[in-house]
Structure 1
Amino acid sequence: MTKSTSARSLPLTCLCAISTAFSFADVALAQQSLPTINVGGARRASTASGPRAVRPVQAAPSVVAAPQSGSGSGSGTGSFIPAGMQVGRGPTDVHGYFAGGTSTATKTNTPILDIPQSITILTKQQLEDRNSLTLNQALAYVPGVTVAQGEGQRDQITIRGQPTTADFYTDGVRDDAEYYRDLYNIQAVEVLKGPSALIFGRGGGGGVVNRVTKKADGVMRRDMQISTGSFGRKRITFDVGQEINDQLAFRVNGLFEQSYSYRDFFNMRRWGINPTFTWKPLDKTLVTLSYEHYFDHRFLDRGIPSANFNLGPEAVRAQTLGLGYLFPGYPSPAGRSTFFGNPAVNYAKTDVDRAVLMIDHTTDFGVNIKNQTVFANYAKFYQNTFANSGVIFNAACAGTLPPCVQLSGYNNETPRQNIFNQTDLTYTLVMAPEIKHVLLGGMEFGNQKSDTNRNNARWLDPFSGSANFNTFFGAPTVYSPVVFNNSNAPNGFRRHTDLDLAAGYVQDQISITKYVDILAGVRFDNFNLKYVNNFAGINPTIDNYRGQTIYSNTSRWSPRVGLVVKPLEHVSLYGAYSRSFLPAAGDQFNTLTVSSANLQPQGFENAEAGFKAEITPTLLFTGALYNLNRTNQPIAINAFYNVLTNTRTVGGELGLVGYLTKEWEISLGYGNQHAYVTSSDRNVALAGTGSGVFFTEKGKNVPSVPQNTFSFWNKYDVSSLLGLAPGVLGLGSGVIYNSKFFAALDNAVIIPGYARWDGAVYVKLTDNISGQVNVENILGAFYYASAHNNNNIMPGAPRSAYVTINAKF
């Protein structure tokens, strides 16, 4: 470690230590007494400060799990967890698919009706009913969210027109490394839409995705799931936990999976183990310790290219060759399973180690203190060959017959180490019979160290071989020799980043009578980045030369304000405004250059209005309209040149989730959005067109943003119709629809829209054994599920069936 790095890390270490020590020290302070501040009587319970006055809840059939808290804590329903407390943060008041509140969106336990923000919560029951095993599968049913291809080696999504690889969180703490996330130890998935920098910090321009892990709550459980089905899936998970004594509980979740795919050569093996412990040294104190090791090794597949030749000579040549079936501007007619590249060298491997210590204490005078420290180490390596062009018909097919496709490749090692410490203090202040404040103050400190070591491929000859390889379109799977030793060519990297961050935030949730709630807060972030690039740039005055060190410091205020009006007891109308930012180094803070280091951070500004209505105690109807502007966004044109663009997303969403009847559960969502470039700093003449024709990104549609998205999943307990006991037999069915979208910002390739029909059957065999059969794409539709760019397009899976057995011991 260099002297400068040590100097910067020392204050961070001290602050984290002080913050953690403060949480322990407060146990002693709790013995002191302060005057209770309560001017006037308390208002009704349906406020941001705690649980609402609850209407009678419909009886849930036994095919649906009993009500749970979002973290599996029981929220005081058992003897181990004190009444009113929750282990960690997450959804609350959960019944089947319905969640009445969450403690994630505001860091306080708040009913959904009182949060001025669009939120989608996927409960454990919904995830299990749909057989959603991965984060990508879970998000496929969320309107306004598009699952991108992620180059075949990471989760990548687009929320409200904002692409991201980093806006993923676990229990409210950043989990921003690039890898595929499994849900074996997850209690719920929360999608919070719109900028949420006040709570989550930088990024999150379109929203964030938060996974809520299962916690040790003292509940006795011995659960196991075994799954098998199409393409050789073999998967087993277990969930074991109990109360050890009246002060200590444990829980362990585990996973092993070996699976294959409809795509040629694909195979995947992953396993994970996540023990967690909860200690209750005092009645109002919980200490949670968790550790997870997760391993994922898979074949890396980036899909198929497009038939993206220009109109003119190329089209004429295609017709001459009798290849008119290759329509320009769409995915090429490659088979659903066809692999492009050399399968002998493609793979991705990820090891994740994550340890968490959380302390939750409430003093005798009502201040709640939460302190969470997270250490995460990500070891990631991937290597791939892939189609790097559309179908080619001209002389560029040197070495093979037309039509051909150009193949490229590289490997990349991207280790990362994250350390975060968060401290939150909350206090409820009753100022008058009808005025209440829920006050939040907090701070966050972190350090992130990352490396990017990338080598480009050489084909045929390890010393003088070409960076690209042409192959006949009809035979795109090749076994030609390829080595990865070319680190100095364009796109070869040797990068190291060391990031220190510090933040402070305050928030006030004000209840003014039972009709009006106000949320207001602001956060200040300081982002200090040291960036070393050992890549030998072409121009040292513009690009980074070998060994050059760049320092970047960014400080920003991120405000948030919202107004909630409740004309009826279970209906709310809201308006909200929020801002967020992203430093010039980008999502993964690894794209800094001499020129971009001086750029202003990207900005996100969101205005939103909506409504929420609890039609019944377990049926929620929501809607929102929003306008989201993004400024100063760099778009890569080639290895050395970016353009700056501003974009706007305007849209609306509708959602319905919960019980329609005691036998019928539903989750329905619709999103309409238009994301486009409002300005660009590029306005150049196209070659060969004369000075009167110019090219600019202005007016282009943002890629991977369908204008219309629709999802519908429902489950019906048909037992009573057949004279069976409740919960013995259930049927599920769902539809996903995405309209067409563009694969890249040049809008040259269209990904056609599609609809997919899924279904399920649920059977309760005994009191302790149940089973389900899930069928995806029942009609066997051929469609394209996602794209990374014009020539990395992933065909969707054909009809697939999976059988799952659930056992309790």
Structure 2
Amino acid sequence: MSRKNSTGLRPAAAGSTILMGALSASLIGGTAHAAEAAAANAATQLGDERQIVVTGQRPSDANPNADPDAPYRVQRSSNGRLTEEVRDTPRSVTIVPKEVLEDIGAQSFREAVRSVPGVTLGTGEGGNAFGDRIFIRGFEARNDVYIDGMRDPGVSSREIFAVEQIEIVRGPSSFLGGRGTTGGAVSLESKTPLDSDFIIGEGSIGTENMYRGTLDINQNIGDDFAFRLNGLYHNADTPGRDYVFSERYGIAGALVWEPAPGFTLAADYYHFRLDGMSDYGQPFDTDTQEPFDVDGDNFYGVVGRDFLENGSDIGTVTLRYSEEDLVEVRSMFRYGEVYNRYIVSAPRAPCRFALNADGSCSNAGPELPLDQWTVAVGSPQRNATTRYYANITDATFRFDTGGIGHTLVTGFEYSNERISNRRYAIPDFVEDGGGNQINTPTSFVRNLLDPNPVLGFDIPVSLDPTPPTVTEVDAMGVYLIDTIKFSPQFEALLGIRFDTYDIDQFQPARIFRGQPLPASQIGNGAEFVNYQAALVYKPVEPLTIYGSFSTSSNPSGEQLDATNDVYGGLQTGTDALQPERNTAFEIGVKYEPNDNLLLTAAMFHITKDNAREQTAPGVFALVGEQRSQGIELSAAGNPLPGVSVFAGYAFVDAEITDSADPTVIGSRFANIPRHSGNILVTFEPFPGFQIGGQVYAQSRIFGGTLGAGTPSVDGYVRLDAVARYRLSEQAELRLNVLNLTDERYYDAIYRSGAPFAYVAPGRSAFLTLTAGF
């Protein structure tokens, strides 16, 4: 392997990968575990006979799946079930490599997907978890997040310090990932041991009291053993938000050992902790149905009570055996614990009148001046722990039958997930320093224009003595995927998967909205089959034209962070229903105008023709119909020597086409923009200096439950900038400026008629020093 640049810093020569990082000691990633990816890449990363051969200079920590000369362009998925290069895979696949993550300044999963067209951020609410909630092609995907191809249950706030690349497979994908995946799935692929030795450290300092440090160590011991260690510490306030901060730390260790030719053992452990302040944003004006025009820094929470804590401990072991290029067998085992704990204040519709003695709005009398309007904030909360264990065992065979080539993947997957969800007990009174008792209501009142969220004392909270609500899922799947090559011009992909899904949920006796509710236990069992059938035509080698048909299934209770159907959870009335079914058609073109650039275009049409709906109190039926259709465009790589591009555009037309409620027929999906697009361009005006920037834009979004209502937030255009300067062969400086114009915009809208809106971060800047040894 070429090791001309063993420090891991990006080469200074133009025409190499320009402004795409090579440093990448950013580790922690909300999920990076080096198991499947470590074993998957072991055959090309360890041992002399498996070395990666490249031309020119290549950073020692470079993404092994990326184009050596154009790291923005990832050539291959880390998912072993997708056996062909991205160019020849018959579906839309967006892969965001760590070099792009660096250049857009992303330091969390949420920040990374915020810049991906067609992937939309959503809100955590009272009925679903506060954390990484996303939509793909208009459909819920918060429980369709994977780590190295294995589902990562438990909604939380993920980091990306140990992530090599983020893969977004679009369109119904149950034949790959099991339940869900209506609009697609996202997998965070881990940093794994490489065949070069390096130590890379990064230190960042920036506005908003931002401090971040990462360390990436890769070492080879002999020809058959390698390990990689990533570490992170991060502490920063949220740009443009008073009192909101995040402190994070993590460690991710991975090793690969080859005890005998063809046999590898990979193991990894991921540990992550987050401590911060929860933030539900700002209230809406019920007259204009848009966010109130208040100071963007206004924080309506309760400093002294509110908090946010996330944690992950996940271990993975992967055994792999391969025989030349004919057979590869893999068995991947994982155990994980993920927790999400918080109390957050939800700013309700402002009160324009005098308050009653109990602090409630009188809703009568003369309207007060604007500077006397108030906002009441509640206390949505959660103490949820997800424990799970899972196994994927599969085999890949490559053979010919009568001159027709086959790459056949067949396998088995099993998982057990157990989610325990409790509430907190908030005391009615606390004592101040003088021994006086102070009332501590669950709802506080804030001035609309000048909220003062600081209590001046802490409210101690403890777990409510009520036993937790417990949800347990056993899921099993078997699958068969065959890529058939009839000739250099014609290929086909046929994939089928059979799944079983058994869910049980126990809710203890409890008080809900002042009413006692008895204990209950419900469950649902389902079996479903999903598939993809696709044809590929290559009139010339650089051009791929494909057509695909695929399906997916959504069983009742699929969204395990929820306990009622409004948010996708299980409840009485849905426990006897069969899964929702989704079908999709997609046609697309992928083209390489040169060796370092991939252009793609796709048209899609997704139909859910038996959507769950409540037809009467406590009565549910599969009677609705939803449709999402649109186009997607992308470009990744180097269009010219010294110029790198990562760009995309998505048009999503998603609406309710049939319903038991005729008033919602024709409504577009809530929280989904019709148009979204980005373009990141970097170039090197002279050796050693690189500069570039990103433009991201999206159109207006409307709030609502499923169908959009009248509350909305404007579309926006956000500008980011990046510059790099090479100090020496061992050191480099990178400057990121995010939201350059300090545009105030909103990520998502809560689903009520008087909602609140998530405020996106304001302008920030940080300087990063990278040193490699």
Which residue pairs with 2:133 in the alignment? 156
Corresponding residue of 1:359: 319
Report the CA distance shift for 1:75/1:62 in structure 2 as closer, same or farther (over 3 A): farther
CA distance in 1, matches of 2:615, 2:744: 32
Of 375, 397, 419, the match for 1:405: 375
Aligned partner of 1:649 among 621, 624, 628: 628
Determine which of 579, 602, 609 is the counterpart of 2:587. Answer: 609
Amino acid of the structure 2 residue aligned with 1:443: F
1:61/1:712 CA distance change after superposition, 3 Å: closer
- How many angstroms does 1:697 deviate by? 2.4
Distance 1:457 1:749, change over 3 A: farther
- Distance of 2:362 and 2:378 partners within structure 1: 15
Residue 748 to residue 638, structure 1, CA distance change in 2 (3 Å): farther
> Match for residue 733 of structure 1?
693
Contact 2:469 2:507 survives alignment (8 Å)? yes
- Give the AA of the match of 1:292: Y
Query: Normalising by structure 2, what TM-score?
Result: 0.84
- What is the root-mean-square deviation in Å for CA atoms of aligned residues? 3.4
**Cα distance in 2, alignment partners of residues 99 and 282 from structure 1:** 34
Query: May I ask how many residue pairs the two structures share in their alignment?
Result: 706
Deviations 1:743-793 (A, max 9, x none): 223512111000011111110000010011111122222222333435231
**Which runs of structure 1 show a deviation greater than 6 angstroms over 4 or more consecutive aligned residues?**
66-70, 456-466, 480-488, 635-644
**What displacement does 1:164 show?**
2.7
Q: 1:671 aligns with which of 650, 661, 665?
A: 650
Aligned partner of 1:373 in structure 2 is 333
Q: Is the 8 A contact 1:90 1:102 kept in 2?
A: no
* Aligned partner of 1:579 among 551, 554, 558: 551
Q: Which amino acid aligns with 1:412?
A: R
Structure 2 distance, partners of 1:653, 1:280, is 42
- Tell me: CA distance 1:231–1:84, structure 2 relative to 1, closer, same or farther (3 Å): closer
Q: Distance in 1 between matches of 2:421 and 2:464?
A: 11
Q: Which residue of 2 aligns with 1:798?
A: 762
Conservation of the 8 A alpha-carbon contact between 1:439 and 1:507: yes
Could you tell me how far 1:674 is from its partner in structure 2? 1.3
Output the amino acid matched with 2:347. Answer: A
Could you tell me which amino acid in structure 2 is paired with residue 264 of structure 1?
Answer: D
| Structure 1 residue 178 displacement after superposition | 1.3
Give the TM-score normalised by structure 1.
0.81
Match of 2:742 in 1: 780
Q: Does 1:426 align with 2:396?
A: yes
Where do 1:51-130 residues align within 5 Å?
59-61=15-17, 64=20, 73=41, 76=44, 79=47, 82=50, 91=65, 93=67, 95-99=69-73, 101-104=75-78, 107-130=81-104
| 1:71–1:187 contact (8 Å) kept in structure 2 | no
1:474 aligns with one of 441, 449, 453: 449
Residue 597 of structure 1 pairs with residue 552 of structure 2: no
Aligned to 2:661: 682
> Is contact 1:106–1:199 with CA below 8 Å preserved after alignment?
no
Q: Give 2:169's match in structure 1, choosing from 179, 189, 192.
A: 192
| Alignment partner, residue 296 of structure 2 | 336
CA distance in 2 between partners of 1:601 and 1:482 (Å): 44
**Equivalent of 2:342 in 382, 390, 396:** 382
Whole-angstrom distance in 2 between the partners of 1:470 and 1:638 = 36
Matches of 1:408 and 1:538 in 2, distance apart?
15
Q: 1:368 to 1:655 in 2, by over 3 A?
A: same
Question: Residues 639 and 733 from structure 1, CA distance in 2 versus in 1: closer, same or farther, beyond 3 angstroms?
Answer: farther
What is the aligned-residue identity percentage? 23
Q: Is the 8 A contact 1:161 1:206 kept in 2?
A: yes
Distance 1:265 1:633, change over 3 A: farther
Matched, 1:446 2:408: no
> Contact 1:218–1:250 (CA<8 Å) still a contact in 2?
no
CA contact (8 A) 1:451 1:497 kept: yes
- The alpha carbon displacement at 1:638 in A equals 13
Question: 1:431 deviation in Å?
Answer: 1.8
CA distance in 2 between counterparts of 1:392 and 1:209 reads: 44
Point out the more displaced range, 182-191 or 355-364: 355-364
Q: Per-residue deviation at 1:332?
A: 1.1
CA shift, 1:93, in A, is 4.4
1:548 aligns to 2:520 (yes or no):
yes
Residue 530 of structure 1: aligned partner: 504
Letter in 2 for 1:661: L
Q: Measured at CA, do residues 357 and 636 of structure 1 come closer, stay the same or move farther in structure 2, by a change above 3 Å?
A: farther
Task: Work out whether residues 713 and 732 of structure 1, in 8 Å CA contact, stay in contact via their aligned partners in 2.
Answer: yes
Match of 1:708 among 656, 675, 680: 675
Partner residue, 1:742: 702
How big is the shift at 1:473?
2.0
**Residue 208 (structure 1) aligned to one of 166, 176, 185:** 185
Structure 1 residue 59 displacement after superposition: 4.7
CA contact (8 A) 1:600 1:632 kept: no
Residue 344 of structure 2 aligns to a residue in which SS? strand
Tell me the distance in 2 between the aligned counterparts of 1:193 and 1:782. Answer: 29
Structure 1 position 538, deviation (Å): 8.1
Partner of 1:769: 731
Distance between the aligned counterparts of 1:98 and 1:364, measured in 2?
Answer: 30
2:538 to 554, 566, 579: 566
Counterpart CA distance in 2 for 1:375 and 1:636 is: 37
Aligned residue number for residue 312 of structure 1: none
In structure 1, stretches of 5+ residues that fail to align are 1-57, 310-327, 684-695, 720-725
Question: What is the deviation of 1:715?
Answer: 0.5
* SS of corresponding position for 1:222: strand
Out of 742, 748, 754, the position equivalent to 2:716 is: 754
Contact 1:743 1:789 in 2 (8 A): yes
State the Cα distance separating 1:634 from its structure 2 match.
4.9
Per-residue Cα deviation, 1:726-758 (whole angstroms, up to 9, x for no partner): 3x0011111010110112235121110000111
Q: Which runs of 5+ in 2 are unaligned?
A: 1-13, 25-33, 54-60, 431-436, 564-568
